[in-house]
């Protein structure tokens, strides 16, 4: 199996040690499952690797956009993770969960004035400014409150991580950040240093997602540290913090490798220490912002099969009760997933079909070319693996479909962390 929390017993798929067909019956479908123990394990791997290899000041921050609801922030709080947030909505949710927002980093390429004010109301520790205009807006709000706001600057180091173009963000031509190559990075640094209500704490970058490539973070760190050394030489500013962003890849199918996070962090740390020595820079406080690699393989989506359509000489379709509204990544990027017929795991898979949703949109495909047992039919349970990241957080109400619930699995028990939307919820704001 693609992850050690997925097993089979008596022809039925088990996730986190629990019978998925029974879970589907108990909570209904479509259903998001999250393996809480797996998520905690991932947090601990990051925490330990950071302390061991970067020192006690270093901090992994969970990237909220990967998955966001109250209970998850409680878990992040219990695991002593920092968080990054990108909207007032994420800040509000973290606050409701009692998360200490001084440990939150506020990202985004276009924070509104209302966002900036709300984040300051809530005491968000760090703003990560994307461009000079944003620095201006933060300075103005901080000045009006008579406070000094801590800030990182998002820079674009010009590294292409060779993944899908749509999730590569560290190249020069990007809507995110200020480019080192064009001189805009230096401009934003000197501009920020002149502000009296902002304390510049360092630099941030994020080069992309689903990264397996050997030395992407090493190369990125090299560019960022070289820039930092240049700023020290020219402007007498030594950045205390370097945030390398998120992006470690996860295993969606058998073709994807398994990353050893501890080993990866160790390699990056060795390279960073070496570069710092060469540039005669003190080792900065290192941050990274894993999202996907914390939550993805803790997740699974369950569906119930409805129509099975065979078009002789063409193609077969297996339709489920979910859709692109709860699983958008295939439509967005053609992302590959492992799909299993949870209720018939011991039958041979000899029937090829597209697994499709119920939305009125021909692009509403969960996955192409899935192999099912020949007996697949109405009432069977389908599992889509590794859906803990960018599923619930990207879910919509397209076709007026209620969002599925999130059920957490821990130590052999299950509980609802986010309730299934009801029809009334859909009309909550209709006047």
Active site residues: 360
Residue 296 Cα distances to 44, 58, 252, 268, 307, angstroms: 15, 23, 9, 22, 29
Q: What CA–CA distance (Å, rounded) separates 210 from 43?
A: 18
Among 3, 31, 34, 66, binds ligand PLP (CB under 6 A): 66
Minimum CB distance to ligand PLP, residue 22 (Å): 31
Minimum CB distance to ligand PLP, residue 369 (Å): 25
Using omega within 30 degrees of 0 as the cis cutoff, is the peptide bond preceding 30 cis?
yes
Q: For residue 394, give the nearest of 334, 335, 325 by alpha carbon.
A: 325
Residue (202 or 357) nearer to ligand PLP, CB = 202
DSSP string of 251-265, one letter each residue: -SSTTSPPP-HHHHH
Is residue 391 involved in binding ligand PLP (CB under 6 A)?
no
Among 60, 82, 213, 291, binds ligand PLP (CB under 6 A): 291
Which span sits near ligand PLP by CB under 6 A: 11-19, 144-152, 245-253, 256-264?
245-253
Is residue 246 involved in binding ligand PLP (CB under 6 A)?
yes
Is residue 293 involved in binding ligand PLP (CB under 6 A)?
yes
Residue (204 or 420) nearer to ligand PLP, CB = 204
Residue (103 or 293) nearer to ligand PLP, CB = 293
Is residue 82 involved in binding ligand PLP (CB under 6 A)?
no
Q: What CA–CA distance (Å, rounded) separates 327 from 384?
A: 10
Residue (82 or 247) nearer to ligand PLP, CB = 247
- Residue 362, class by beta-carbon neighbours within 10 Å (0-12 exposed, 13-18 middle, 19+ buried)? exposed
Is residue 289 involved in binding ligand PLP (CB under 6 A)?
yes
Residue (81 or 305) nearer to ligand PLP, CB = 81
Is residue 157 involved in binding ligand PLP (CB under 6 A)?
no
Residue 333 Cα distances to 32, 164, 200, 296, angstroms: 21, 8, 36, 16
- Give the residues across from 356 on adjacent strands: 319, 365
Is residue 247 involved in binding ligand PLP (CB under 6 A)?
yes
Is residue 35 involved in binding ligand PLP (CB under 6 A)?
no
Is residue 107 involved in binding ligand PLP (CB under 6 A)?
yes
Q: What CA–CA distance (Å, rounded) separates 108 from 227?
A: 22
Minimum CB distance to ligand PLP, residue 108 (Å): 9
Do 405 and 414 meet the contact criterion of CB atoms below 8 Å apart?
no
Binding string, residues 36-65; x marks residues near ligand PLP by CB under 6 A: ---------------------------x-x
Residue (20 or 387) nearer to ligand PLP, CB = 387
Q: What CA–CA distance (Å, rounded) separates 49 from 264?
A: 9
- Give the residues across from 179 on adjacent strands: 156
Is residue 202 involved in binding ligand PLP (CB under 6 A)?
no
Minimum CB distance to ligand PLP, residue 343 (Å): 31
- Residue 110, class by beta-carbon neighbours within 10 Å (0-12 exposed, 13-18 middle, 19+ buried)? exposed
Residue 361: φ, ψ to 5°: -170, 120
Residue (202 or 247) nearer to ligand PLP, CB = 247
Residue 138 Cα distances to 93, 131, 214, 234, 383, angstroms: 22, 11, 37, 25, 45
Do 373 and 340 meet the contact criterion of CB atoms below 8 Å apart?
no
Minimum CB distance to ligand PLP, residue 171 (Å): 14
Among 35, 84, 218, 222, binds ligand PLP (CB under 6 A): 84
Minimum CB distance to ligand PLP, residue 370 (Å): 25
Which positions lie near ligand PLP, rule CB under 6 A? 63, 65-66, 84, 107, 206, 209, 245-247, 289-293, 389
């Amino acid at each position: 199996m693609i992850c050690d929390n997925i097993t089979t017993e008596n022809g039925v798929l088990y996730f986190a040690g629990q019978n998925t067909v029974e879970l589907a019956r108990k909570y209904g479908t479509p259903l998001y499952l999250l393996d809480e123990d797996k998520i905690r394990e991932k947090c601990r791997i990051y925490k330990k690797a950071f302390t061991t290899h970067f020192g006690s000041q270093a901090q992994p921050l969970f990237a909220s956009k990967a998955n966001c609801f109250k209970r998850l922030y409680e878990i992040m709080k219990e695991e002593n993770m920092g968080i990054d947030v990108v909207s007032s909505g994420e800040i509000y949710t973290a606050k409701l969960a009692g998360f200490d927002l001084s440990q939150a980093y506020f990202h985004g390429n276009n924070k509104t004035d209302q966002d900036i004010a709300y984040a300051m109301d809530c005491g968000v520790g760090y703003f990560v400014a994307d461009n000079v205009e944003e620095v201006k807006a933060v300075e103005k709000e901080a000045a009006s409150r008579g406070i000094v706001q801590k800030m990182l600057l998002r820079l674009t180091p010009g590294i292409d991580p060779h993944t899908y173009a749509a999730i590569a963000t560290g190249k020069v031509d990007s809507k995110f950040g200020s480019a080192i190559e064009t001189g805009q990075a230096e401009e934003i640094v000197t501009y920020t240093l002149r502000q009296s209500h902002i304390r510049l704490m360092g630099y941030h970058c994020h080069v992309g997602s689903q990264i397996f490539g050997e030395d992407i973070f090493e190369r990125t760190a090299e560019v960022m540290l070289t820039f930092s050394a240049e700023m020290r030489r020219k402007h007498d500013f030594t950045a205390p913090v370097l945030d390398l962003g998120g992006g470690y890849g996860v295993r969606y199918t058998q073709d994807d490798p398994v990353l050893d996070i501890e080993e990866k962090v160790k390699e990056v740390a060795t390279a960073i220490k070496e570069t710092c020595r060469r540039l005669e820079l003190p080792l900065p406080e290192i941050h990274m912002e894993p999202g996907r690699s914390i939550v993805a393989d803790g997740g699974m989506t369950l569906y119930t099969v409805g129509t099975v359509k065979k078009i002789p000489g063409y193609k077969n379709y297996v339709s489920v009760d979910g859709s692109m509204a709860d699983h958008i990544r295939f439509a967005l990027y053609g992302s590959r997933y492992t799909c299993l017929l949870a209720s018939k795991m011991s039958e041979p898979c000899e029937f090829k079909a597209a697994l499709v949703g119920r939305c009125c949109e021909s692009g509403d495909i969960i996955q192409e070319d899935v192999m099912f047992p020949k007996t697949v039919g109405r009432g069977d349970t389908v599992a889509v693996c590794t859906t803990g990241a960018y599923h619930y957080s990207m879910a919509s109400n397209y076709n007026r479909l209620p969002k599925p619930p999130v059920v957490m699995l821990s130590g052999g028990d299950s509980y609802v962390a986010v309730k299934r939307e009801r029809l009334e919820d859909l009309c909550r704001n209709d006047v």
